[in-house]
Amino acid sequence: MPPLPTETLRARPSWRAHAPVVAVVALGGGAGAAARHAAALRWPTPADGFPWTTLGVNITGCAMIGVLMVVIAEARTAHPLVRPFFGTGLLGGFTTFSAYAVDGHTLLAGGGGGLALTYLAVTPLAALGAVWAAASATRHTLGRRAVATTQRTGGGPRGGTP
Amino acid sequence: MTWLLVVLGAMAGAALRHLTDHAVRARHGAVFPWGTLTVNVAGCLVLGLLTGAVAAGAAGPRLQLLLGTGLCGALTTYSTFSYETLRLAETGSVRHAAANVTASVAAGLGAVSAGAALADTLWA
């Protein structure tokens, strides 16, 4: 992910300065993977079946990171551990590239060429569509709210972003 | 126990992804997302190897949960991959964005094949 929220820490790249970030990334990653595992148990994919659950998990996680990154960018004072926990940890642990590639490989090896190519192409397209649509919708919503707040409070930067 | 294996593997995987990305970024800058590409391809290689090991009976369901669902699942990421691709496209590098998607998918599949082939050699 571009600019880490730890620029201030980067000048002093000691383990002690970096440890809280690594810790929240690990905690978020554990929680995200548990949620992915829960989805896999709730909606199991049959052998040689189309991996709907992994597709759904990846698209959902991509939409959520679209919302998160806009909210963090708009918020004036997001805590420096918010992005490592939710973005790098939780959503990074929830979504998975390795299962996507292995599922695609398994479909290809099983002779389902058309289905495999569909899965391999649809996932990145839907993921990009999801992150773009979610980011745009969030920007739009926050923009409208900021305008409404500015109008209510009679303008000025103090009434600005939520 | 099942959940513990997934969570422990994922905690290690997510931390490893963060540290790798940090190290790669320090060496190669932040223009092209080499860090995410690196962890995604590495995770595909390990999961390909593990899937082959499970198919050959050399690894059991516990190892699959710890290293597959947990470690590889959290070491690799689709959300950061998509977000970084969108950022590349939005900042005018549509070619880099397309290259990132193509390279990630091709290298990921190649790594899975390599891992599966290695598993075949080792355990079949």
Specify the pLDDT at position B30. 82
For residue B108, the one-letter residue type is G
Q: Mean of the pLDDT values across residues B109-117?
A: 98
Q: Mean of the pLDDT values across residues A8-24?
A: 74
Are A25 and B15 an interchain contact pair (Cβ–Cβ within 8 Å)?
Answer: yes
Q: Is B45 exposed, middle or buried (0-12, 13-18, 19+ CB in 10 A)?
A: buried
Share of chain A above pLDDT 90, in %: 67
- Rounded Cα distance, B111 and B85, in Å: 21
Q: How many domains does one find in chain A?
A: 1
Picking from A4, A26, A101, the nearest residue to B15 by CB comes out as A26
Q: Mean of the pLDDT values across residues B5-21?
A: 98
Q: Mean of the pLDDT values across residues A129-139?
A: 97
Please give the full DSSP string across chain A, using - where no structure is assigned.
--S-TTHHHHTS--HHHHHHHHHHHHHHHHHHHHHHHHHHHHSPPPTTS--HHHHHHHHHHHHHHHHHHHHHHHSSS--TTHIIIIIIIIIHHHS-SHHHHHHHHHHHHTT-HHHHHHHHHHHHHHHHHHHHHHHHHHHHHHHHHHHHHHHHTTSSGGG---
Specify the pLDDT at position A1. 46
- Rounded Cα distance, A68 and A87, in Å: 7
Judge whether A2 lies within some domain.
no
Q: Mean of the pLDDT values across residues A146-155?
A: 60
Whether A101 has a pLDDT exceeding 70, the answer reads yes
Distances in Å between the Cα of A34 and the Cα atoms of A20, A37, A93, B10, B111 are 21, 5, 8, 8, 25
Are A98 and B72 an interchain contact pair (Cβ–Cβ within 8 Å)?
Answer: yes
Whether A159 has a pLDDT exceeding 50, the answer reads no
B38, B79, B113: which to substitute to probe chain A, counting the most A Cβ within 10 Å? B79
Please give the full DSSP string across chain B, using - where no structure is assigned.
-HHHHHHHHHHHHHHHHHHHHHHHHHHH-SSS-HHHHHHHHHHHHHHHHHHHHHHTTSS-HHHIIIIIIIIIHHHS-SHHHHHHHHHHHHTT-HHHHHHHHHHHHHHHHHHHHHHHHHHHHHH-
Whether A157 has a pLDDT exceeding 50, the answer reads no
Please state which of the ranges A70-74, A124-128, A142-146, B17-21 shows the lowest mean pLDDT.
Answer: A142-146
- Rounded Cα distance, A112 and B22, in Å: 38
Any residues with CB less than 8 A from the CB of A12 and at least 6 apart, and which?
none
Q: Mean of the pLDDT values across residues A1-19?
A: 59
Look at residues B78, B90, B93 and name the one whose alpha carbon lies nearest to residue A135: B90
Specify the pLDDT at position A160. 27
Query: Computed from CA positions of residues B7, B106, B50, A108, in that sequence, does the dihedral angle turn out positive or negative?
Result: positive
Chain B CB contacts of A39 below 8 Å: none
Question: Where does the pLDDT of residue A150 fall: very low under 50, low under 70, confident under 90, or very high at 90 and above?
Answer: low
> How confident is the model over A38-87, as pLDDT tens digits?
999 999 998 778 999 999 999 999 999 999 999 998 877 889 999 999 99
Distance from CA of B123 to the nearest CA of A (A): 18
Whether A155 has a pLDDT exceeding 50, the answer reads no
Are B79 and A132 an interchain contact pair (Cβ–Cβ within 8 Å)?
Answer: no
Share of chain B above pLDDT 70, in %: 100
Are B78 and A37 an interchain contact pair (Cβ–Cβ within 8 Å)?
Answer: no
CB pairs under 8 A between A and B: 184
Mean pLDDT across chain A, nearest whole number? 86
Judge whether A1 lies within some domain.
no
Judge whether A93 lies within some domain.
yes
Specify the pLDDT at position A152. 61
Are A88 and B14 an interchain contact pair (Cβ–Cβ within 8 Å)?
Answer: yes
Question: Where does the pLDDT of residue B105 fall: very low under 50, low under 70, confident under 90, or very high at 90 and above?
Answer: very high
Name the residue range of residue A71's domain: 7-159
Whether A156 has a pLDDT exceeding 60, the answer reads no
Whether B13 has a pLDDT exceeding 90, the answer reads yes
